[in-house]
Amino acid sequence: MPARPAGALVLFGITGDLAKKLVLPALYRLEERGDLDQPIIGVARSDWHQDDLVRHAREAVEDALGKPKAEVFSRLADRLSYVQGEYDDSRTFDRVKQRVGPRASSAVYYLAVPPPVFAVVAEALAREGLNKQSRLVVEKPFGHDLSSAKALDQKLRQFFPEERLFRVDHFLGKESVEDLLVFRFANGLFEQVWNRDHVQSVQLTFAENLDVADRGGFYDPVGAIRDVVQNHLFQVLAYLAMDSPSGSDPEAEQRERTRLLRAVRTLSKRNVVRGQYDGYRKVEGVKANSTTETYVAMRMAIDNARWEGVPFYVRTGKCLPETILQAVVELKPAPRLPQLERHNSVAPNLIRLRMQPSAGITLDIQAKEPGPGYRAKTVPLSVDFERTLGPTQLAYERVVSDALSGSRIHFTSQEAVEQSWRIVDPVLDLPDLPVSYKPGTWGPEQAERLPGREGWIRVDTDI
Ligand code: BG6
């Protein structure tokens, strides 16, 4: 049965950081495109009035996107209203019910609140009968490990069935991540080499040059593995390595991603290097003797026929020299051409798939160096997708729009969540100290050698 478009959007935590930085700017974009036609009811604890909410929304849009267009913003502001209340107080939900009125059954309840509040709100919605046909949107983290993820799911599922539970992993909303699928399967040239016969190794780097700034209190009990690897990077890994979906429906894509995650080997300590940047322990909210990793590099394996024997290296960290999300697929070397000069070592072909900051691809190919003899030299073939094809939508724009229309394509499933926890479970909360590294470097030296003597393939920052 096709999903019903949302009759109302109820945004819990509208005064918070997530709503401000990501959801409200996304709503502005949807308004600009003419894709919103429902009231937006913000719920939070602050004692705010309509004016405060509108000011907050304007600031949110300005900070994220620059000065809003007056007529677009005024349409958005007209949709906004505010319900004040505690999340554990039934009167709050009474007020929400009144405000949503007859639209209650087709409403989308978006929980931009801390995870401990998810089940509290879900239960309170159910008590008011607001869970009948509505959708519940929740944001990662989904649990703290495998068992807490299962426990959270059990609680939420008492009130909302799987098909009406929308779990946000905003990397699934990034067009540049989805593009991996198009690049791989719409180009016969690449589709044919995407396997163990032709691929030597795959390296995935998600580097951020920011520190944890004012998020110490959130970050310290979490660390890099929980914050971005278990969710975002495993989704990227799934797109990089999955088989082609067996149908055009969103479930087919989700199923295939999950099937890939099922084949990823559970990590062991010897394949992981954790790091912590110097100065991290001085950040407000971070324990003075914290063993939390702000960097991690891991050697991974996928146990299926396509990838047997191909190492997948994944690394991420805060305070690194760049902010970039890039996968590098290294192809196996071609047989040596007898004409080449003896000492001319030929580099492998590399396929660099850049997803952030702007999407694009660079292929490192070999060409004859001008001159008398035969010498092969690496030259890049590059394309920047935004320059060539135009701008893409924001990840949250797509996530919020899908939640409103009821499409599950950019959301993750409970099984994918559990598989991802299963993969990282043995390397969570390791008692040993992470290796320290200097801010502005590529992480600890031990991690540099994880992919072998040659180290990591340099990420390509200018396509
Ligand atoms: C969030 C993490 O989920 O994703 C942050 O909590 C991280 O630590 C962020 O910086 C990265 O997302 P994006 O879209 O800014 O690359």
Atom of ligand 1 minimally distant from the CA of 174: 14
Assess whether the C-beta atom of 22 lies below 6 angstroms from ligand 1.
no
Q: By the 8 A CB rule, do 161 and 122 touch?
A: no
Per residue in 13-26, pLDDT (tens digit) is 999 999 999 999 99
State the amino acid at position 1 in one-letter form: M
Integer angstrom CA distances of residue 114 from 51, 95, 111, 137, 417: 25, 21, 8, 13, 18
What is the pLDDT, as a whole number, of residue 4? 80
Integer angstrom CA distances of residue 267 from 147, 226, 275, 326, 426: 17, 14, 17, 22, 7
Q: By the 8 A CB rule, do 406 and 135 touch?
A: yes
Per residue in 141-167, pLDDT (tens digit) is 899 999 999 999 999 999 999 999 999
In three-state secondary structure terms, 105 is: helix
> What percent of the chain has pLDDT above 70?
99
What is the pLDDT, as a whole number, of residue 105? 84
The total number of residues written for the chain in this structure: 463
> What's the rounded Cα separation, in Å, for the pair 404 and 250?
15
Picking from 406, 405, 352, 355, the residue whose alpha carbon sits closest to that of residue 380 is 352
What is the pLDDT, as a whole number, of residue 250? 79
Residue 57: in which H helix or E strand, if any?
helix 50-65
Q: What is the mean pLDDT of residues 50-54?
A: 97
Residue 58 has pLDDT above 70, yes or no: yes
Per residue in 378-413, pLDDT (tens digit) is 999 999 999 999 999 999 999 999 999 999 889 999
Per residue in 85-109, pLDDT (tens digit) is 999 999 999 999 999 999 988 999 9
What is the pLDDT, as a whole number, of residue 213? 86
Q: By the 8 A CB rule, do 252 and 409 touch?
A: no
pLDDT band at 463 (very low <50, low <70, confident <90, very high): low
CB atoms within 10 A of CB 288: 6
What is the pLDDT, as a whole number, of residue 3? 75
What is the pLDDT, as a whole number, of residue 93? 97
> What's the rounded Cα separation, in Å, for the pair 277 and 317?
9
Ligand 1 geometric centre to CA of 300 (Å):
22
> What's the rounded Cα separation, in Å, for the pair 446 and 179?
32
Assess whether the C-beta atom of 169 lies below 6 angstroms from ligand 1.
no
What is the pLDDT, as a whole number, of residue 1? 58
Atom of ligand 1 minimally distant from the CA of 325: 16
Q: By the 8 A CB rule, do 276 and 417 touch?
A: no
Atom of ligand 1 minimally distant from the CA of 206: 16
What is the pLDDT, as a whole number, of residue 294? 98
Q: What is the mean pLDDT of residues 305-324?
A: 97
> What percent of the chain has pLDDT above 90?
91
Ligand 1 geometric centre to CA of 47 (Å):
29
Q: Which residues touch 14 (CB under 8 Å, ≥6 apart)?
A: 24, 42, 43, 44, 53, 56, 82, 112
Assess whether the C-beta atom of 228 lies below 6 angstroms from ligand 1.
yes
The residue whose C-alpha atom lies closest to atom 4 belonging to ligand 1 is: 228
> What's the rounded Cα separation, in Å, for the pair 38 and 276?
45
> What's the rounded Cα separation, in Å, for the pair 412 and 403?
12
pLDDT band at 214 (very low <50, low <70, confident <90, very high): confident
What is the pLDDT, as a whole number, of residue 251? 85
- Omega before 338 cis (within 30°)? no
Instruction: Locate 336 and state its tokens.
Output: 């040596």
Ligand 1 geometric centre to CA of 436 (Å):
22
Ligand 1 geometric centre to CA of 13 (Å):
19
CB atoms within 10 A of CB 153: 19
How are beta strands 199-207 and 272-277 bridged, if at all? unpaired
Picking from 340, 380, 339, 417, the residue whose alpha carbon sits closest to that of residue 138 is 417
Pocket-testing residue among 177, 226, 227, ligand 1, by greatest number of atoms within 8 A of Cβ: 227
The residue whose C-alpha atom lies closest to atom 6 belonging to ligand 1 is: 227
Q: By the 8 A CB rule, do 414 and 153 touch?
A: yes
Assess whether the C-beta atom of 139 lies below 6 angstroms from ligand 1.
no
pLDDT band at 293 (very low <50, low <70, confident <90, very high): very high
Per residue in 424-456, pLDDT (tens digit) is 999 999 989 999 999 999 999 999 999 988 889
122 phi/psi in degrees, rounded to 5: -60, -45
pTM of the predicted protein model: 0.95
What is the pLDDT, as a whole number, of residue 462? 60
Assess whether the C-beta atom of 208 lies below 6 angstroms from ligand 1.
yes
Ligand 1 geometric centre to CA of 443 (Å):
18
Q: What is the mean pLDDT of residues 241-263?
A: 93
Q: Which residues are catalytic?
A: 232
Q: By the 8 A CB rule, do 399 and 408 touch?
A: no
pLDDT band at 248 (very low <50, low <70, confident <90, very high): confident
